[in-house]
Structure 1
Amino acid sequence: MVSRIGKEIEISPVELGSQIAKKVRINLASGTPDPKKMPIKEIKEAYGEVIDELGPKVLFYPGAGGQEELIKEIENKVIPLLGVNKRKSEKIVVTSGAQHAIELLGKYFLENDTIAVENPTFIETFNALKLRSSTTIPIPLESTGIKVEELENLLKIVKITLLYVIPNCHNPAGVNMSECKRKKLVELAEKYDFYIIEDDPYKPIAGEVPQPIKNFDENGRVIYVSSFSKILAPGLRLGFIIAREDIAEKISLMEQLDFSTSTINQYVVAKLIKKGIIHNRAEELYNYYRNKMKILIDSLNDKGLTSFNEPKCGFFLLLDLHKDSWEVFHKAVEKGLSFVPAKPFFLRGGETMARLSISVASEEEIIEGVRILHESMK
């Protein structure tokens, strides 16, 4: 006597890989930012400062849609960093991370509807949408992003409510969507009457990428989602959406239903933004992770493992092992390596794919991890 969601939900491969990673020497599974790069000192100071300045106010119940202080800082300082052209007819809603934002958007838009997603897609955010949909349609992904011509052919025969895309530093594929495709998606949304969720948590550490899909949106067809998890720390659980005012107001009311967005954390992040911590870290983190990704790419090439699209930014590389990835995974775990078998990221195919992450592994561990992976494939 449980709901359809209760019956269908199951552990994600990311969670499974991360659990196993705690028991092995080398972690190429986790998607958490590198703990060595989290601004612990600055976060600690910010907690003390907001308590000293505002007292019990920072421990009150959170207001619907986010604290005014944080929304102001996002509006004035974060949005320009992200390159988003926010219109006067749009509002910001603060959420408990990007995952929470997409869960709320699923509740708002979907009731046994049809949705389309990139194939592959990020399983954990996708599940929040899939579990509220009747039909999910995969659209192939290539080195320049979603195949828009296949999406357009689909739209001629099928009505969708939502399209979910990750345009920058794609998880798990690592690719960036081209600007011409971003513009085309908005044109299709207008023509075929659907909405786009633009999931963009990596932009603060992505370096130079095309402008957001949101910037081509004149009529509120695109809901932009971002997060402070990659630039600060995921445990703060803070993200936000930018959406047309009527959508944002409803999402604010739905966000208040669970009261999950921490009041004090909102004040802390507002303080960190005001101090310039986010702007100061953006270029440094891009270079840091890009260097680690280069080490992974070079190590794979040295072993003859070349079946991947070179990631432009972010944490992830999607590698074709040309054999069952779960079989290789179990052998690798025995030798001290964890990664994520990527089949669950695909609605179609993906049995031989592996997601490798450079986020928490050291340079030496990345090199050793590739050696173990290569050995496990023999």
Structure 2
Amino acid sequence: MPISKKTGILLINVGTPASPDTASVRKYLAEFLMDKRVVSMPTLLRFCLVYGLILPFRSSKSAHAYQSVWDENKGSPLLSISQSFTEKLQQHLGEKYVVALGMRYGSPSIATALDTLRAQQVDKIIVAPLYPQYASATTSSAFEAVFDGLKQQSIFPVLKTIDAFYYRQEYIQAKANVIRPFLKEKWDSILFSYHGLPFAQVKQSEANTPVNCDKNLACPTINKVNRNCYRAQCYQTTELLAKALGLAASDYGVSFQSRVGKNRWIGPDTESALKTLIQQGKKNVLVVCPSFVADCLETLEEISLRAKELWLSLGGESLTAIPCLNDSPEWVASFAKIILSESIDSMHFAQPLSAAISVTVSDLA
């Protein structure tokens, strides 16, 4: 039997409920929130919090949010866009590659995607979470799920992990090209809104360093100390995009969305940032969400609907949510370049699970 020379590409995104009804959303939220990297506390306490407090009160509210963006024909925007991107990337890369999509929570699962790659007898897998910035709750969680899916195999395929690509010129240029046409419209300010994280999770990325960043201020340029810090990577992403677009420092700001609970999260939060812009006399704002490569609940409902409603109620005239990269031809070609740049020489054999994790995952939290 000839030896396979195919390389598997495992694309990973966070996931989506199977449908927007309360039962499906509850099931999805349970899987999501019981991830120890998402809710960082002992298992028993996490179980009590999730099943005793969060799910009974948030499931129906979240279901209503999903219903507001659910497509009658295509279903979940995140899933339909991700599937289209997967198909187009496969066409772009050609028959030497096998591209499979796995969602960290929900379906299609990472385990199902690994089965697809195994059936195609790939001898190498590039694990590519579709998160531009690195975070333990997203990227590390995805890596762990991959290792869990592979640990029953006696022989691991050669693995290469892509832990972040916010700094890649291919990503920056593709994202800038999506934003650029909107600069021709009427606007007073641009808000780069990233998914938020609990302050404690980001703080852990500094555990072995002497630096205690003030989280109310902009992060310094990426360096040896903060290179694993999610918040610092978000600020660096913003600076790279601003440079590509020729923006002045006074043209834009950074914020963090999707805060839940009463614990401290990294800031400034997006709602407060919008209120500040109103106080500064801004009337027309563009909102960019660079931590999402595909439009989803957080961009379509939280920004396009709720943030816009807030902005107008505060006296603003227009809030324009700029689309994500989605499955655009330029993004497909750009991500293909990122994939192809991953050298076989830098690939390592993922041997024992513990060793693989220590080699591949430098935890943010």
Q: TM-score range by the shorter chain?
A: under 0.3
| TM superposition score normalised by structure 2 | 0.27
Bigger RCO of structures 1 and 2 (CA < 8 A, at least 6 apart): 1
